[in-house]
Structure 1
Amino acid sequence: MEKKMDTLTLGSHRLVHLDLKGAPLRTCYFEKLFPLLRTWGATGLLLEWEDTFPYNRELSPIGSNGPSSLASGYSVQEAGHILQIAGDCGLAVVPLVQTFGHMEFILKHDEWRSLREVEAFPSSICPSNPRTLPLVKSLIRQIVNLHPDIQYLHIGSDEVWHLGLCSVCTKRAAASKYGKSALYLEHILAIAQYIQETYPYLKIIIWDDMLRSIDLQILNEHYIGKYVEPMVWHYNPRDNFALPIGLWDKYSTVFPNIWIATAFKGATGSTQHIPVIRHHISNHEKWLEELAIHVNKVHEFRGAAFTGWSRYDHYATMCELLPTAIPSLALCLKVWLYGYSEETHAQVAKSLGYIDHPLHIIPQPRPIPIPSNLLFPGWEIAVGMEWFLNFKTKFHNIVVSDQYMMIKVENMQKRWSFSTFSLEKNRFPIILGICH
């Protein structure tokens, strides 16, 4: 009999992250997926729209309404339908909109190129530019308007690779006793105060990585804990899982409410084809151990986001497509609730249609037998990717085989002999001409 983990450790929210940048799914796929997510234990969605969102008016160039946008972006009607499906399935929606780093989808456009912190890099926006805050406010306003029933808004703010580098930011950092930390926190506070004034019912979430290196005193003096809730993300498995020493003590002093983020896909390489499920299970197991030790330090542990990245940034290649990661997601949700066991594994595998073939959680030597007629939405894509990897392995084995190398050498020798013969034949009359 499955025993559910302690509620204090788990928190009350289990958000499945849908990273729509680069791989927006059809609405009919959500109709099949969302009921399963609820069955597997999810309570909501962390929805990262990026440029698939139907921005309009002054923001229309960056969204699915734009003239140069992806044809696969969502219309207002389609976006509303996605939210309706989620609501019908009892899944709360937390939209994620980037407001500091990872803003390539905006800063690549000529209209906003001048807002880059470093002209050559479109990832980070300049917090000192007077046009930055109005742009961020517009983004937030349009996102919130299309999500009327939300309680939380995630404002991103992770991996701000270029901070305090433009001429104005350099002077501001030099004039502040807290340097670049002040630049970061003041930008976050300006955004958070706008949200609090305009939408007082909303709670604000940010990624925590930029906060990790900021001293406790600086965080407290900026009263950042009054405005935002950090989401502590870490995607490594047990053998190299390492949060900064003292992180929980520092955060619990500053922030009354804390989230964490795991990963079920998109965290083992930017060109990964299918998830290494054992890696992700181990990540969840280690997170549970971490929380069991430290969660009592936190006033309220909100819960977890199960992240599934589609690509590492706006210009990056695609990593695992969502259908290939459905087994990993189902197992990770079950592991979070009940822990990993052979019984849990078998139950999930059977529910997904792995009856005649095992559901492997560690990579197997290829080529491997591939199942068919599975029971989860998009299984055809998952199976197709397995076939592709089998053929890729077979091709590689042929190319590096001794027999192939011998044939290749023989062909090279033939071409070399033919070329030499042709060269000598062509040179002969020239030599004669010179001699005459």
Structure 2
Amino acid sequence: MDTVTLASHRLIHIDLKGAPPRPSFFEKFFPFIKSYGATGILLEWEDTFPYTKELLPIGGLSNSAQATGAPYSIEEAKQILDLAVDCDLMVIPLVQTFGHMEFVLKHDQWRNLREVENYPSSMCPSNSETLGLVRSMIKQIVAFHSSLQYIHIGADEIWHMGWCPTCAKRVQSSKYGRDSLYLDHVAEVAQFIKENYPTLKIIIWDDMLRNMDLKTLQDYNIGYLVEPMVWHYNALEDFKLGSPLWDKYSDVFRYIWCASAFKGATSSCQIIPIVKHHSSNHEAWLKQLESYGNKILNFRGIALTGWSRYDHYATLCELLPCSIPSLCSCIKTWLSGSLNQEMQLSLSENLGFPDGYQADFLKKMPHIQLNFPGGNIYLGMDWFCSLRTRYRNIINSDQMQTWFNQWQISNNYTNPMQIDTIAPFINELLLEVLANENYLKAPLENTFYPHTIEEIQGTLFAPIIQHLRQIKSDCETQLASGCRVRGKKRMIT
């Protein structure tokens, strides 16, 4: 086990397609994760990369809507890479080359490359312009990153492959059907990289390969072109990989990676990671390698993935600062094999969490100083989760549904006694949500760019604040009206 965990890469995946931090955050974050055992960064730039020339629109505007991640300037992007190098962290760029291409295919000039005209997720591998676009992206990515050893070309979750008329014909005429569409494209991309950058090793996600026959993979010599990163995010009790997969991969690939998750893998709108789940995922991976490691010729290492969105158009899930305790727990689990209660308490103490934190949160929160980058953001978002739970409990309560529903408000058919009970809870909660929003203002501005802050406020805070203000106004209006029945008459049947 020591050989697996200590002598292999431990990459921290940074997904910049959601809430890309300012370089000043990485100035603190990179030394922090290095101290916990990280050896490198799997950097998914998406539309935050400062593409130039013909690719300049990737980070710009699309259909009058701002890109989800406004691009870093060239200087900022170089600063991020320099900060990683200063911490002796290997950087592996991840550039999507087949699926998850919304950040490119949403633009009018590349709309014709979609496999399905209305869906911007996947590129058509039969379009003569597709490889040209991929090559241009790879060229700029490679040129920008010095001393690269690896590049990750994505190629996962191709939801709509073989749908266009040309691809459908290829599927019918090909010996291996839809698998050929995928493998032909990946092979062409890989051959381009090998011809132009012969020392560069190529990584892809493995999910599209899992159900392919052994003979298909061998006939394409895919094992000599790419190294699969086998990803699986389930907890120990629901971990689904097993012997048949490793038997097949051992006959095809010389090198294999694995990928776990420390955030972004439990719910598309999760705010604070479920640490127990993610730690369990790493325990499951360790057991998997213990059971089947003899079938892996060369194990490269693990990438701890941290997704910021489920796709380009999804709303944000866990922010990176909110996920650092989970990340630390996962690294500790990976290096130790598991985390017992004593180790968990020690980790919590090192991160700055006081005893009784959850039990006395609101009282202590303004005075807590957590010992990791963006700790105040973690505190503020944890506070928000608590307030949102209270909000949902109030608006879905029997009291609200029975004595203050929309029909009753519209018909002025309400009971002042019940309103006098409801109104103080609404007023108090509104004030607390506004205080929470104000508490987060400075930490968010110090860590993220305006477009991220606007999204957080617009998706999380604004709907609750607007609704509470409306309820508050309705309470005041009903009390002022004397709660007399007006308008419709009650129908007695």
TM-score for the superposition, normalised by structure 2: 0.80
The one-character-per-residue Cα deviations of 1:119-172 (angstroms, maximum 9, x if unpaired) are 011101011111000100000000001101110000000000011111111111
SS in 1 for 2:488: helix
Q: How does 1:213-224 map to 2 (within 5 A)?
A: 213-224=211-222
Select the structure that is richer in helix.
2
1:351-403 C-alpha deviation (Å, 9 max, x unpaired): 21113345x8xxx9999975721111111111111111111122223334444
Inter-CA distance 350–413: structure 2 relative to 1 (3 Å threshold)? same
Distance, in Å, in 2 between the alignment partners of 1:408 and 1:46 is 51
Do the aligned partners of 1:117 and 1:124 also contact (CA within 8 Å) in 2?
Answer: yes
**Separation of aligned partners in 2, 1:262 and 1:139:** 27
- Residues 139 and 40 (structure 1), Cα distance of their counterparts in 2 relative to 1, 3 Å cut: same
- Segments of 5+ residues of structure 1 without an aligned counterpart are 423-436
Q: 1:430 matched to which residue of 2? A: none
Partner residue of 1:356? 355
- 2:390 counterpart of 1:391: no
Contact 1:100-1:156 at 8 Å conserved across structures: yes
Report the residue type matching 2:183 in the other structure. Answer: L
Work out whether residues 12 and 303 of structure 2, in 8 Å CA contact, stay in contact via their aligned partners in 1: yes
**Matching of residue 22 in structure 1 with residue 22 in structure 2:** no
Identity of aligned pairs, percent? 54
- Pick closer, same or farther for the CA change 1:86–1:65 going to 2, 3 Å: farther
Counterpart of 1:227, as a letter, is L
Alignment match, 2:202: 204
Shift, 1:405, TM fit: 4.5
**Superposition map of 1:10-409 within 5 A:** 12-63=8-59, 69=67, 72-243=70-241, 245-338=243-336, 339-358=338-357, 370=365, 372-408=368-404
Q: Distance in 1 between matches of 2:48 and 2:59?
A: 6
Contact 1:107-1:116 at 8 Å conserved across structures: yes
Q: Corresponding residue for 2:477?
A: none
The answer to whether the 8 A contact 2:5-2:335 is kept is no
Distance 1:354 1:401 in 2: 33
Q: Deviations over 1:189-231 (max 9, x none)?
A: 0000000010011000000000001100000000000010000
The structure-2 alpha-carbon separation of the partners of 1:368 and 1:171, relative to structure 1 and needing over 3 Å to count, comes to farther
What is the CA-CA distance between 1:58 and the residue it aligns to? 0.4
- For 2:17, what is the secondary structure of its paired residue? coil
Q: CA deviation at 1:311?
A: 0.2
Q: Is the 8 A contact 1:367 1:394 kept in 2?
A: no
Q: Counterparts of 2:371 and 2:242 in 1: how far apart (Å)?
A: 41
Structure 2 residue ranges without an equivalent (≥5)? 415-482
Shift of 1:79: 0.6
Q: Give the Cα–Cα distance (whole angstroms) in 1 for the partners of residues 242 and 361 of structure 2.
A: 38
What does residue 431 of structure 1 align with?
A: none
Larger deviation, residues 237-246 vs 310-319: 237-246
1:217 and 1:402, CA in 2 relative to 1: closer, same or farther beyond 3 A? closer
C-alpha spacing 1:83/1:219, structure 2 compared with 1 (3 Å): same
CA 1:354–1:105: 2 relative to 1, 3 Å: same
Distance 2:134 2:399 in 1: 61
Instruction: Look up the SS of the partner of 1:413 in the other structure.
Output: coil
> What does residue 433 of structure 1 align with?
none
1:427 is aligned to none
Give distance in 2, aligned partners of 1:341 and 1:352. Answer: 17
C-alpha distance in structure 1 between counterparts of 2:68 and 2:99, whole Å: 22
* TM-score normalised to structure 1 length: 0.90
Partner of 1:158: helix, strand, or coil? coil
